[in-house]
A and B are shown apart, each in its own frame.
Chain A
Amino acid sequence: MASNEPNVSSPRQGAPGFIHDWSAERRVFNVPWGKAMMWLFILSDVFIFACFLVGYMVLRMSTVEPWPDASEVFALTIAGQSIPLLLIAIMTFILISSSGTMALAVKYGYANDRRKTAVLLLITALLGASFVGMQAFEWAILIGEGVRPWENPWGAAQFGAVFFLITGFHGTHVTIGVIFIVIMAVKVMRGSLDGQRPGFLTGRKGNYGMVESLGLYWHFVDLVWVFIFAFFYLW
């Protein structure tokens, strides 16, 4: 949208600008609809993850059994050496990097650089997919050690339950993101966005704002991961 819209920024800064925006006619935010919708969706999703994490905290604090020690449970044994949090550090690094490539994709999208945008999107999808792959690997290790949703060898039964449910729910978000990023990359490569071709299902005209909205989702998923990381691996 940004390309064919006159730039109507709020005339005032700070609180007066805020009031001006909110009391304006037509629209409150100077953003395309798709972006406004994504922000709202993210807000709603924040509440989902918040409920999950609060539930986790309540369960962990109210259980009478010991809680498994994160630095032992999540350690990786390499060459006979147990290195705590190694895998998870790599996963986190990968996911954060993918936010960077996504941001670049958005930038080149607005510069109408089709090739770079598509390549960066594909790299982002690849990083996301490898994150999910490593998560599956970690699940496999834990399952191999006897962790189940209903029990584990080290303590409170709720450990497996919250771990699998919350990381699984987050992993689903990442997977959905990867799928959409791949679709978007194909659209970019085919030039659907430059040509404003209507979407197959929705009939909305293509534009690079879509890449940005998708990017917002992706950054959100990464940000949530930081919280999950902190609560599960560092607490």
Chain B
Amino acid sequence: MAEHGQHSVQHAAAGEFDNMELVHPKTFLGKYVWSQDAKVIAIQYGVTAIAIGLVALVLSILMRLQLGFPNTFSLIDPASYLQYVTMHGMIMVVYLLTALFLGAFGNYLIPLMCGARDMAFPYLNMLSYWFYLAAVLILMASFFVPGGATGAGWTLYPPQAISPGTPGIDGGILLMFASLSVFIAGFTMGGLNYVVTVLQARTRGMTLMRLPLTIWGIFMATVMALLAFPALLVAILMMLCDMLLGTSFFMPEMLNLGEPSAHEGGSPLLYQHLFWFFGHPEVYIVALPAFGIVSDILATHARKNIFGYRMMVWAIIIIAVLSFVVWAHHMFISGMNPYFGFLFATTTLIIAVPTAIKVYNWVLTLWRGNIRMTVPMLFAIGFIFTFVNGGLSGLFLGNVTVDVPLADTYFVVGHFHMVMAVAPVLVVFGAIYHWYPKITGRMLDDTLGKIHFWVTFLGTYAIFYPMHFMGFAGVPRRYYGYGETSYIPDSMQALNAFMSVAAIIVALVQLVFFYNLVRSYFHGREAGPNPWQATTLEWQTEHTPPRHGNFGAELPVVYRWAYDYGVPGAKHDFLPQNMPPEAVEADDTVPGRRS
């Protein structure tokens, strides 16, 4: 950081906040329900996302019960298993993780960390949440319509997604389409807000290259989402027409359960291209915010600046760009020109380079740091392990020849759970432990947190690690049961039972986490404004929790990057971003740290 420590940047024009009035409602409804305050919207997003995430968790336990103890539970039949797979996958990816990282963490952290009073368009921001809620409710309704939720798999591939024989083709799939469309509309409103706020509404002195990496991650993920969701929307609209109007965008001429279908000449491959043009970036939409948040947690709790900040920013940008040109690695077995396979394998493997850089930088940040083994730190380190694991199995699947035998086996299930399920969820937990003190003013309990961490971390390994071996043995994914399949050894059943028990334990230990959340809200230790002694602006607010408008009468002025930990010559081991250079040696008042 060349401009380190001094405030050399020219001041731009007065921001629009200076002549904008925030809506300060008086009533309870206005404050907590129809709120336009990004922090309240963030909590609304977070609570809704976690609630629906619990539904997805229950579904995964139901699946695991069937897999571990086949035919013991009469509730689960082959059709409902497919519905569970589909809803579990879709909810986890879109309605839990995307909404949580962008809607909840984005809303809470972007204005605070950029030094803004609120999002640029508070009203639109509020609408975004209500659209999201509607999308969630529509999705839930699909469990209750005749025929139940759709069982097409979260990829919703045609023709089967809308052909007789697939569960939920009456109402379930329609509600899935409706819900996703509403989600996309709502997300667009929020996403425009996040991007404009980061680009246009930062406080004085906050240059792009002084932004905390959390913001960089959320920002790039939002940009990607704004460009990736359109492909999904188009695919949905076309499939909707195929279903309701009898068009043939995706539907070929075929025999269906012995009956000729009413379609001709559609291209199922076109759908796959559109879907994965969304689907692959979606993986990084979930991953980039996690990358950013982990970087900040590591630096704060290791009392050390993040290693290679510029490299980290560029890696995020390069990953975001590259992830738009790798989508067909999900289609190696769908039938494509071998040269295309080669091309997409190459781009896929190239992404490993910036990703590896990030991992090295995280590890180097820890190197010789003054590591505090707090709960957020544990989760962040857990993330590194899990992510490296999932990344390595990704290298297998990125190569066409290795992917062909492994595709659609449990190796894939193990891979993506490691890399995009467990790893980001660990970050979600870490982030909640990290920012809960700012959101509520109280600390979460440490012992409960450590129990939560160790059981979750080791438990997820117990669930998902064996899946890789099952994949090598050829166990296919999305199967309700295997019966007497000659090539699947009997030992797989024992393994399955073991994984299911682990899954139940992991699910149960989440109760400890929720207990901790509720108990600490009332009885937790007072946190004070800056319990982790962090540098970023959200810890320097006048009030904890921050009020509407975030900062006091004056917006903070930023003089340095977000990673001034252990600066030689400074009195304290951290310099908040808004500490003027004069204050560094002069006296010992640290701004934002009133006692």
Contact B241 A203 (CB under 8 A): no
Q: Interface code A9-29, partner B: CB below 8 Å = 1, 0 otherwise?
A: 000000000000011111111
B14, CB-defined interface residue at 8 Å: yes
Contact B23 A203 (CB under 8 A): yes
Residues 59 to 111 of chain A near chain B (Cβ within 8 Å): 59, 62-65
Give A45's nearest chain B residue, CB to CB.
Answer: B230
Report A-chain residues with C-beta under 8 Å of the C-beta of B20: 204-205
B195, CB-defined interface residue at 8 Å: yes
Question: A36, A52, A203: which contacts B200 (Cβ < 8 A)?
Answer: A36
Contact A203 B231 (CB under 8 A): no
Give A46's nearest chain B residue, CB to CB.
Answer: B230
Give B123's nearest chain A residue, CB to CB.
Answer: A202
Give A196's nearest chain B residue, CB to CB.
Answer: B19
Give A22's nearest chain B residue, CB to CB.
Answer: B208
Residues 151 to 185 of chain A near chain B (Cβ within 8 Å): 156-158, 160-162, 165, 169
Q: Interface code B195-207, partner A: CB below 8 Å = 1, 0 otherwise?
A: 1100111111111
A201, CB-defined interface residue at 8 Å: yes
Q: A27-B15, A30-B13, A33-B196 are in contact. Are A51 and B248 (CB under 8 A)?
A: no
Residues 201 to 231 of chain A near chain B (Cβ within 8 Å): 201-205
Contact A203 B123 (CB under 8 A): yes
B246, CB-defined interface residue at 8 Å: yes
Report B-chain residues with C-beta under 8 Å of the C-beta of A65: 265
Question: A26, A64, A157, A198: which contacts B203 (Cβ < 8 A)?
Answer: A26
Contact A24 B188 (CB under 8 A): no
Question: A26, A30, A44, A201: which contacts B226 (Cβ < 8 A)?
Answer: A44
Residues 1 to 53 of chain B near chain A (Cβ within 8 Å): 9-16, 19-21, 23
Question: A6, A40, A162: which contacts B196 (Cβ < 8 A)?
Answer: A40
Report A-chain residues with C-beta under 8 Å of the C-beta of B21: 198, 203
Contact A26 B206 (CB under 8 A): yes
Between A and B, how many residue pairs show CB distances below 8 Å? 160
A191, CB-defined interface residue at 8 Å: no
A1, CB-defined interface residue at 8 Å: yes
Query: Bound state CA distance, A45 and B241, in angstroms?
Result: 20
Residues 182 to 228 of chain B near chain A (Cβ within 8 Å): 188, 191-193, 195-196, 199-209, 226-227
B238, CB-defined interface residue at 8 Å: yes
Contact A43 B9 (CB under 8 A): no
Report A-chain residues with C-beta under 8 Å of the C-beta of B267: 58-59, 62
Query: Bound state CA distance, A26 and B200, in angstroms?
Result: 6
Report A-chain residues with C-beta under 8 Å of the C-beta of B230: 44-45, 47-48, 50-51
Contact B270 A58 (CB under 8 A): yes
Question: A25, A169, A198, A205: which contacts B9 (Cβ < 8 A)?
Answer: A25
Contact A55 B274 (CB under 8 A): yes
Report B-chain residues with C-beta under 8 Å of the C-beta of A160: 247
Give B249's nearest chain A residue, CB to CB.
Answer: A161
Contact A26 B234 (CB under 8 A): no
A137, CB-defined interface residue at 8 Å: no
B121, CB-defined interface residue at 8 Å: yes
CB distance from A200 to the nearest CB of B (A): 10
Question: A6, A59, A149, A205: which contacts B13 (Cβ < 8 A)?
Answer: A6
11 contacts between A and B (CB under 8 A): A5-B13, A8-B12, A22-B208, A25-B11, A33-B200, A44-B230, A64-B265, A150-B262, A198-B21, A203-B123, A205-B19
Known: A26-B206, A55-B274. 13 other contacts (CB 8 A): A24-B12, A25-B205, A26-B202, A33-B121, A48-B234, A51-B230, A51-B234, A52-B234, A58-B270, A158-B247, A158-B266, A165-B238, A203-B123
